[in-house]
Structure 1
Amino acid sequence: MVIRRATNTCATFVIVAFTVLAGAGGASSAVPSPIDPAMLPEDGPPVPPHPTEQRTLCVPAVAGGDGADIPRSQQDLGFDSVWPITRGAGQRIAVIDTGVSRHPRLPALEGGGDYVGTSDGTDDCDSHGTVVAGLIAAQQVEGSGFTGAAPDAQIISIRQSSAAFSVTGQREDPAVAENSSGYGNVDTMASAVRHAADMGASVINISEVACKPAGDGINDQRLGAAIEYATIAKNVVVVAAAGNVGSGGCKNQNPPPDPLAPLADPWDSVVTIASPAWYDDYVLTVGSVDPTGAASSFSLGGPWVDVAAPGTGITSLHPASPGLTNGVYGPDGAVQSFNGTSFAAPYVAATAALVRSVHPELTALEVMRRIEATAHAPAQGWNPYVGHGVIDPLAAVTGESAPGEPVQVHHQSVSIDPLPTPPTPDNRSRDAALVGAGTVGTLALLTLLASMPLRRVIRRHLPERRNIDL
């Protein structure tokens, strides 16, 4: 169970597990509660809020993915076309996750702290955070086709969750088994976001999500306050995974728009809420697409989804060796690949870092709008599963715009001049004819009306005859 969740989720199992400890309620059924800055957690050295212990073995990652072949997702997004312009130097990207193991291809990894155990954030028992970090900033190595999307950026690792840990002495209750495995909640995430922002991160990647059925509420006001603080007060681009249907509390997919009610508010039809993804004003939320470009079947939709990126068949850094991994061993010994919106979000976080390295004048919100504006939009322009579409890193970096203005992307489409305005037609002859015809018609009508009383008088004075028409 732990292994399945580690490979197939964006750590929803951990976050949802401890929403019970955080409490229930506090938000409306469809939208987050208004953000209260007073709920912002204080910053301080990261420590677990409860005594913890490791309860299960660490998730074993399989060695795989080495070689000269470029992973499909890396090819599809074309990050190599951006690298002659920027490779993300100077950007510090905080990965709030299960920790990031030290790896030769992350030489500048910085430990940001640990809300699960006693490490500095560079222990990864779940084979999740290391994979996420590698997708963002793994350096190039000769002979390897795999490279992080922003290989010159620096990773700050903050361990916020782990499926292998739990509160010391806690024992599983069969009635609530799914809510009692793992450690991490929306409160520890809030503290991690605040801490990352105060450490000077320019981008924060959160490949974790807490889901609840709409109507149950989720006590995430501290997280909402931390997200707003990071985005507005500290000018950090916050990127979050949308969540995976079937994982943790993300049990039911949110419905598509009703074609019979095109103007309906999509928030009114939400059946599953997801945090921090649903803080749409301050978070760039990422869905997953498969190799065909279609929304992945597992990707949780919602009115808060902004963009999408590949999230299947992922290759990245191995958490316990100098090489790469493309999956973990399942309970039956079979290899399970890395699939999930967890692994789509890092591509967007890396894109944000690339944009910020070239356009330091842009605010966090402007960077978010830029990435949305340059994405490959679906036919509807936006939908709840891929948002504004699959990201285009080159377009996001090279599009031209002034701060606060829509991005003009010159290389994505050919500009054509508008059709010339036709000359004003000379309608004088037509108008004269219409006036003449109208005058004649009016006179005829008046003549007819004037004759009607006379006709009635004549009829009264004539002798009655048949077959006489006047």
Structure 2
Amino acid sequence: MRKAATLLATAAALTTALALPPHASAAEPDAKSRLNGGGECTFPMKKQFEGTPWALQRVLLDQLWEDTKGKGVRVAVIDTGVDTANPQLKPAVDASAGADFLKPDKEAGEDDKRGRTNGTVDEVGHGTKVAGIIAARPRKGTGFVGLAPEATIIPIRQNDEKNSGTSKTMADAIDHAIAKEAHIINISQDTTEPLGPDSDLGRAVARALEKDIVVVASAGNNGLDGKVKNTYPAAFPGVLAVGASDRNNERAPFSQAGEFLGVSAPGVDIVSTVPGGGQCVDNGTSFSAPYVAGVAALVRAKYPKWTARQIVAQIEQTAERSVNGRDNYVGWGVVDPVRALDGEAGPIESPSPDPAPPKAPAPEPAFVAMSETPEERDERLATYALGIAAVLVSVVAGTTTVVRDASRRRRMRT
């Protein structure tokens, strides 16, 4: 009963976005980071979803995996940890490369026996869901699988159900991902503190980009008011910021809008792995970001010579658009995994609007005479006169013939 109560409390804590401390400022390193979704299911779960989840139904997986499944690509998941007891994740996680920035070695004590300091214990379930969307291995009895099911996950614990993570611990986590040679970094957290490029987090993101790492971050879940605002690290230049879309490829109402938004991805009724085993359904931009991170892992595996910037541009350019260009609600559109893997035209440096269709030549106007010239009028009247004269001649000729015939008949009778 106590365990169930703890799990319910955890769920409640995650479904309520915690406000940032009022005293925090851009210069302070302790701005709290928030998990962008999670907590709508308990765990462990015996249940597995037999069918293919809708977010995967929209993808032709055989075509997507025709050339690669992400083998050799390392994806750092900076989150609440990644549980390796789930059979779909155990072979995907590099536990030796993991880390825990909430309870470092000198404070871990007996927790070392549980492996907490390598980021492989997830008391919340959030990071385990995120990792599953990226790289869960196929398993008999379920249609759920990660988008890059041969990629490797680097588990980094940086947050918990109390939102204990800060911009400083997130910066440390990014540096650890760099040291462990991550190719992709997924951060399904945000802070609304106006952090500048000189903040600890801003500098850490810059270091990752300098190392040619693709940094993917969720946009946040405070979008119900529709107002445009920045969240970090998603709004730092070079980061691929991801919003949430629904089954109709439209913006999920909770998804944060902003000028920083790069693309959107499924974030409603998302199936993924949970600690201990099984799967559950959850909502949030937290689960949109790893969808895109999985696509980025496939692109990196297929085109290893492409830069991080080119990979981001390819994902944005090939997204399914609702407008010709980008907007503040879905970015460049909803990510299209199969199109993103089609790089035959070569890499691009930045996305651009689709070219406008060529305009059809305007039809030449038909000539309409509004009046006639005097010459045309005289010609028309002369034609009428000739016609009338011809009719009169015919009438006279006919009358003459009738009179003549009548006179002839009278003479014959006399």
Please indicate, yes or no, whether the TM-score normalized by the shorter chain is above 0.5.
yes
Distance 1:385 1:64, change over 3 A: farther
> Is 1:101 aligned with 2:79?
no
CA contact (8 A) 1:79 1:393 kept: no
- Per-residue deviation, 1:195: 1.0
Tell me which of 195, 202, 210 is aligned to 2:176.
Answer: 195
CA contact (8 A) 2:93 2:154 kept: yes
State the SS of the aligned residue for 1:354: helix
1:63 Cα deviation after fit: 2.6
Which structure's relative contact order is higher, taking Cα pairs within 8 Å and 6+ residues apart? Answer: 1
Q: Which residue of 2 aligns with 1:153?
A: 151
Is residue 2:224 matched to residue 1:224? no
Matched residue, 2:235: 278
Question: Is residue 397 of structure 1 aligned with residue 341 of structure 2?
Answer: yes
Deviations 1:362-387 (A, max 9, x none): 10011000100000112242111110
- Aligned counterparts of 1:67 and 1:402: Cα–Cα separation in 2: 38
Distance 2:147 2:309 in 1: 21
Quote the residue 2:164 is aligned against.
183
| AA of the residue aligned to 1:276 | P
Which letter maps to 1:348?
V
1:113 to 99, 110, 116: 99
Letter in 2 for 1:301: A
Match of residue 331 from structure 2: 387
Moved more, 136-145 or 102-111: 102-111
Equivalent in the alignment of 1:143: 141
Deviates more, 1:296-305 or 1:76-85: 76-85
TM-score (norm 2): 0.72
Partner of 1:61: helix, strand, or coil? coil
- Return 5+ residue gaps in structure 1 as ranges: 28-38, 40-47, 49-56, 164-180, 247-251, 256-269, 327-337, 422-470
Provide Cα deviations, 1:175-206, integer angstroms capped at 9, x if missing partner: xxxxxx43111110011011101210000000
Amino acid of the structure 2 residue aligned with 1:4: A
Contact 1:64–1:325 (8 Å) recurs in 2: no
Q: 2:212 aligns with which of 197, 215, 235?
A: 235
Percent of pairs with identical residues: 39
For the residue of structure 2 that corresponds to 1:142, the secondary structure is coil
Higher mean C-alpha deviation, range 393-402 or range 124-133:
393-402
- 1:115 offset after TM fit, Å? 0.8
Contact preservation (8 Å) 2:83, 2:121 = yes
Question: Judging changes above 3 Å, is the alpha-carbon distance between structure 1 residues 80 and 152 closer, same or farther for their aligned structure 2 residues?
Answer: same
Whichever structure has more helix as a proportion of its residues is 2
2:122 maps to a residue whose letter is: D
- Tell me the distance in 1 between the aligned counterparts of 2:216 and 2:184: 7
Instruction: Say if 1:77 and 1:391, in contact at 8 Å, map to a contact too.
Output: no
Tell me the C-alpha RMSD between the 2 structures: 3.1
TM-score for both structures, normalised by structure 1:
0.64
Report SS of the residue matched to 1:136: helix
Map 1:221-300; keep pairs closer than 5 Å: 221-232=199-210, 234-245=211-222, 253-255=225-227, 270=228, 272-279=229-236, 281-300=237-256
In structure 2, distance between residues paired with 1:385 and 1:78 = 26
State how many pairs are aligned: 326
- Is 1:24–1:219's contact at 8 Å kept on the other side of the alignment? no
Residue in structure 2 matched with residue 75 of structure 1 by the alignment: 57
The equivalent of 2:26 in structure 1 is 25
